[in-house]
Structures are given as C-alpha cells and as structure tokens.
A and B are shown apart, each in its own frame.
Chain A
Amino acid sequence: MTTAVDETAQPPAPAAGERPPRSRSGAGRRRVLAQWLFVAPAVLYMLMYFSFPLVRNVVMSFQSYTPATYFTGEAPFTGLDNWRAVLSDELFAASLWHTLLFTLGSLAGQFVLGMALALFFQRRFPLSGLMRSLLLLPWLIPMVVAGTLWRRVLDQETGVLNGALQGLQLTDSAIPWLSSPDFALLSVILVNIWIGIPFNMVILYGGLQEIPREIREAAVLDGAGFFRRFFSVTLPMLKPVVTVVLVLGFMSTVKILDLILALTNGGPAHATETLGTHTYQLSFLQLDFGQGAVVGNILILVSMVFAVIYLRANREGVTR
C-alpha cells in the first residue's frame, strides 16, 4: 500500500522545481493522511471494542461496582479493596492452581495425541481422508453441547463409561468421575483433551506436509530409526508450528468457561473452579462486578504474556 502511494506522490515533486520543499511536504502530508485514513477504521474498531472495555475493566477493578451502579451511575473508588478481597480468598488460590493443572494437563494431552494422530495420518492408506474428517467432529461441536453430552457419559450411576468399564470387568465399582472432588478435575481435563485433539492434529499435520520428503528419505538412508527421525529431524523442523499450536492452545484453554460450567459448574465443592468460572461467579452470580473484574484482569494479563510470545514466534516464522 505505501509503495503505491509513493509512486504516485513522487513524480510531481521534482517537476515542481522552484519550490520543491513546500510541494514535497504537502504531498508528504497528504500521503501520511491517506495512510492514516486506511488505518483509521481498524484503529477506531480496536478502540471501541478492545481498548475501551479493557481500560474499563481495569478501572472497574478499583471500584465498588454493583447492580445499583447501573441505576445511579455511581461506582465509588475503593482503592485496592477488591484486589485485597480476591487475592486473600482461598478460592482464588485454588482457582489459580486448578487453572494451571487444567491448562497444562489439557495442552500436554492434546499435543501428544494430536501429534501421534498427525504422524499416523501422514502415511497413505485407504479411507484416511474420511477418518481424518471424522476426527474433526469434536472440534465442531459447541462446548456446551460437548459438556452436556459428557456429563451424561460420565454420570456415576447411569453413565455409559462406568457401564462399559464394569461390563468389561475393568473396574469393580462405579468411578465417581464428576461427583468426587478427587476425580472431577481429571475428568474435565480428559474431556477438554478430547475436544482439543483435532485442532492440534490439523495444524501439526499441515506442518508435517511442509517438511520436504527428501530430508526424511536421507535420514532413512543414514539409518535413523523412527524415534531418531522424529526427534532429530521432524520435531526441529516443526518447531515454529509447535510453538504456534502450544501458544494458541494455551490462550484458548486458560480462559475456558462454558465447558466447565456445563460439566461440573465448578464443583463439586469447587474442585474444578478455574479463574474463568471464578470470574463468572463473582460477576454474574454474586453480581460483584468489581471483584469479578479483578479476576478477569489477571486472566487477561496471563493471556497477554502468551500473546506476546505468540507474536514473537509468529514473526520468527514469517521471516524464516
């Protein structure tokens, strides 16, 4: 875009001869204006829908913001009260810990299984296309639907999973997948892994296709076995894609709300409470928007760190 403007703006400048500086600066100003005009809609959009709410959210976390605020417009500033209240709450520490386990557990599971499937489908075999598209299904189902579905599957008494496990005599008694605080977080992670596998598989599969066949063949000729090939050739060449998959996966996982609400509502006894569900409960169930904003801001901050990592990784990928 800028080069196009340059070309049209440049010729008149030398032709003006007598007063090149003024004419040049006039054209330059027009060029800058034109550039800004192109950027303006995006900037305006960003300000309206991203910066404004973000700043509001930060300000809100220092205010006493209640339902009454919507009527009176008054939200007195209370300093660090909201932050203190949230950070001193045991539930916040628990949510933070659960969020960490949930995110890392989900990522690890999704990535390993997604990678395994991507490698598997790299071979050519009949019906691989059909199987690959079937594997995409979990990705297409809305989270709430997946959550509701799995809640039925995992029900301690009437769930299909326990029925199958007991039928095959793999377990003696019904496993309280969602009804025991000891199992609930694990179950939620497993369901989220199921949902995330397709995303990892598709992106990694795409990355694998980019690796030139000759390199692999050369490695085979050199006598490298499967694992050697994978760790010394495939994985290093896949590194930019892996970074992108993990960082994007992290950002979408850390804020997951709907899946957990549909599966366990954060329970039992807060065993699956994450930062996402915690901010939802503070804001929309307790209607304490100020404290909800605090947790929301922390979540945004965490995501932002990884967004920066993502941008850096992406730039590396592009310049490569």
Chain B
Amino acid sequence: MRHRLSRPPRGAAAAAAAVALVCAGCAAEPDPDVYTIMNSATDEPYHSWDDEVMAECGAQAGVEVRQQSVPADQLVPKALRMASSHSLPDVLVLDGSDMPQFADPGGLVPLAELGMPPDELSDGARSFGSYDGTYYGAARSVNSLGLFYNEDMLADAGVEPPQTWDELRETAAELTEGDRYGLAISALSTEDGVYQFLPWLWSNGGDERRLDEPEAVEALEFVSSLIDDGSASRSAVNWTQADVNDQFVAGNTAMMINGPWQKPVLDEHPDVDWGVVEVPVPEEGADPVAPIGGTTFTVPANSRNPEREQVAGELVTCLTASDAQLEWSTKANNVPVAPQAAEEYREQVPELAAFADQVETARSRTEHVGTDYSVYSQAIGTAVQAALTGEATPEQALTRAQSQVEQELRSRP
C-alpha cells in the first residue's frame, strides 16, 4: 500500500509510465480557464451543493471550476502524491488538523498575500486556519461538540440538561435504567474518540502538551468514572461518533456527546425529541473549551503560475464570504465563522445555536502542536482506552502517553 505513496523518481522511463498511470487525468499543463478544487465532499447532497456554489464563484472570477472529490481518508495521501509531481489542484480543501502538514514545508500560499488578511476573524477562526502564526486556510463553516439530550427522557425523569461535571454525573446516573444508559460517548482510539476527549481535557485547564499534569488526569478520571458508575457503556471504546448517534436514536441512551453533523440523521427520526447544550464544564461559570472541527480552503503554492494563485484566491474569497458561509452552514449543519453570519445563524437555526456559542470559545487542535498533532492524538487515544478498559489507572495511562509522545518526537529529526 505504501509504495504507491512513494515519490516517483524522475528520469527513469519505467517510473514515468508509473506516474502516468497513477496520475491519469492530471495534465502537466493545466487548461488556463479551468480551475480545480479538491475536497472530500464525496457524499450527496454535499457534492451537488458544492458544485452549485463553486460554479457561481467561478462565473464571478470568469473561469470554469471543476470539483474533484476524494474520500476523506484518501485526501491527504492523494494530495501528497500530487505535491510530489507538482500537480496540486488550484484550491485544496483540507481538514483543519491536516493543514499544518501542507503549510510547514511551504506548500501553501499565505492568504494575506492573496488579499485575504484574517483581520476580521474571531480568534478561534483565525487560529483554526493558521499555522505558526500565518493564516493559510479560510474556513467556510466549522463545527464542534455539544451535549445532545432526549427531551422526553429528561422530562420523564424531571431533570434539566446538566451544565457542570457534577450535574452531568448525577443526571447520567439518574437517567440510567434497565437497558438504557444515561450518556453515550465515543472513546475510539482514533480521531473520533480523541476529539471527544479534548473538551474534558481543555475545559479543565489541561494541555495536550503536558498530559501527565493533574488537570489532564482529573479529566480522564471524570470520563472513566462515568463508565465505572455504569452511567455510560464500556462499548464506548468501540463506538464511532456515528455509532453513538445510532445508540441515541435507538433510545439506548438519554444523552450523548456529538456534533451538529448528526442533525440530518436525527431529522430522519421525528419521534426522537432532542435538544442540545454546550458540553458541561468542571465548575459553574467556566468556559467550555471544545475542539473546532471542519475544513479550510487553502491555495497550494504554484510557482510556475503565480497568476493562477491570484484567481484561486478570488475563488476562496467568494466561497468563504459571509453570506456564502451562512447559506452553507444552514444547509450542511455547521456553524459559520464570520461573526455576523453566526449571529444570523442563531436566529435561523435555533436548535443548533449551542454550537455557535461553543465555537466562540473553541480551540484549534493544531494551534500548539502543529504538525506533531498526530503523535499527540495517537497517545491520547491510547491513554483514554487504557483507562476506560481498566488496563491502567488514568494517571498511569497519561504518564505513559506523555513519555510515548516524548520518545516519538525525540526520534524525529
């Protein structure tokens, strides 16, 4: 599998043939009037919606836009392969946590150079699209996590949606009965689970760079205690966020931690009456700090055709304009980043307003650790699983994670 990722050597005739096969369709000299935007919008209706807005923005810039969609898990390998043959698309839509990998070696154009300074953005949106202090990726919409609850179940039990950790612990215990759990979470060792652990870690003042500190240990102890109490299922270590949503829809749990992207699935089940609040915090009045998720529009460096970069910049400006953000966010159940658009969003989609609030204090996963994020993510995922399965205490698990990270980073040049 990996050999396909390897950098094709230049010169060898055999390799040239291999490149031609691997890279069928990416012409050496692009058509001057056709611009490509690569994203991971393989699913409908997102792909068609994107086709529409991209055609509109292309018309404004006077060019034809072609959307190229690749499954999310293949986007980075494919883009890296294209980078090695200098055939990256004009606009590359990257997941926020992948963006540093492309910005670090100078593969992306700082958006300020294309007339898009991040001056008017909120801190969260700016940090989300920045690497090492430079703004490379314009977000159209972002998302985060919230606490979904089943209104009927909470009403039956006569409880309010919890706001603090203590309240969450009590409420979850109260709502647990028979085959039903109080709370469902994803604690997969991959990004699904790590993403869901970060709100507990960060809201408690923890830092992914210092996993062995008490703030981090406390956060993991809290999550662990929910499972030990029987308020959340041990199967969480095998659940993706989609599985968690299935459990919620099926009535197997009264509350869940999940993101706004589940709304379309929830809407298919009108019998489930749900609401959503921000992720509970350790102490009353504390700011919830959840991770920002979502994608950013980036412009890959194109030294051969600098004027193409300019046009690509125009396309990104158009695609991420405030009204475009609002339109996309309401359709795709994400949250706009532009403050004004977010304000209108709260009015138009009140049921997801909690996410607009959450995003204001949310943080980018790569803000501090940049291209090393994947190392931290792996270590956190392992620690969470070790603690939740009882393989280690939260403290042991996180101490191990910290030394694992340090060892891995030391082995890098």
Contact = CB atoms under 8 A, between A and B. Distances in A.
Contact of A179 (B2, B234, B252, B413): B234
A269 B382 contact: yes
Nearest to A88: B407
A156 B235 contact: yes
A71 B237 contact: no
Nearest to A283: B2
Nearest to A44: B14
A113 to B, nearest CB: 26
Nearest to B106: A71
A76 interface: yes
Interface class of chain A by DSSP? helix
Interface residues on chain B, size class: 35 or more
A289 B252 CA distance: 41
B16 to A, nearest CB: 11
Given A52-B14, A179-B234, A288-B412, A269 B385 contact: yes
Contact of B374 (A81, A269, A286): A286
Contacts of A157: 179, 181, 233, 235, 252
A285 interface: yes
A293 B6 CA distance: 11
A269 B15 CA distance: 41
B190 A265 contact: yes
Contacts of A82: 411
B378 A56 contact: no
Contacts of A76: 413
Interface string A25-44: 00000000000000000001
A68 B104 contact: yes
A270 to B, nearest CB: 6
A76 B6 CA distance: 15
Given A81-B411, A285-B190, A293-B2, A178 B80 contact: no
Given A151-B238, A156-B235, A179-B235, A268 B189 contact: yes
Contacts of B34: none
Contacts of B15: 48, 52
A73 B9 CA distance: 10
B84 interface: yes
A64 interface: yes
A268 B104 contact: no
Interface residues on chain A, size class: 35 or more
A309 interface: no
A284 B5 CA distance: 10
Contact of A287 (B101, B392, B407): B101
A288 B411 CA distance: 10
A265 B238 CA distance: 8
A72 B188 contact: no
B10 to A, nearest CB: 9
Interface string B231-245: 001111110000000
B209 interface: no
Contacts of A287: 76, 101, 374
B389 A57 contact: no
A158 B247 contact: yes
Contact of B412 (A54, A64, A267): A64
Given A81-B411, A268-B237, A286-B408, A71 B107 contact: yes
A232 interface: no
Given A180-B389, A269-B382, A68 B412 contact: no
Contact of B388 (A155, A268, A286, A296): A268
Given A76-B413, A157-B233, A269-B385, A67 B408 contact: no
Contacts of A151: 238
A108 interface: no
Contact of B378 (A181, A283, A286, A296): A286
B332 interface: no
Contact of A269 (B1, B179, B234, B389): B389
A85 interface: yes
A53 B83 contact: no
Given A155-B235, A155-B238, A47 B385 contact: no
Interface string B77-107: 1001101100000000000000001101111
Interface string A46-68: 01110011101100100010111
B6 A267 contact: no
Interface string B382-413: 10011011011000000000000001100111
B18 interface: yes
Contacts of A68: 101, 104-105
A64 B14 contact: no
B59 interface: no
B3 A156 contact: no
B269 interface: no
B412 A285 contact: no
B250 interface: yes
A238 B250 CA distance: 52
A268 B101 contact: no
B210 interface: no
A52 B8 CA distance: 10
Nearest to A292: B2
A289 B77 CA distance: 11
Contacts of A156: 233-235
Interface string B173-191: 0000001010000001110
A296 B83 contact: no
B17 interface: yes
Contacts of A69: 7
28 contacts: A52-B15, A54-B3, A57-B3, A66-B412, A70-B7, A71-B83, A71-B107, A72-B105, A85-B408, A151-B238, A155-B235, A157-B179, A157-B233, A158-B252, A179-B234, A179-B236, A180-B389, A268-B189, A268-B388, A269-B382, A269-B386, A283-B2, A285-B374, A285-B377, A286-B374, A287-B374, A289-B5, A292-B2
User: Which 3 residue pairs of A and B lie closest in terms of their CB atoms, listed nearest first?
Assistant: A53-B3, A68-B105, A85-B411
Given A68-B101, A269-B389, 17 more contacts: A53-B3, A53-B4, A53-B6, A56-B3, A67-B105, A68-B104, A70-B80, A70-B105, A71-B84, A84-B411, A157-B233, A178-B238, A267-B238, A268-B189, A269-B189, A269-B386, A289-B2
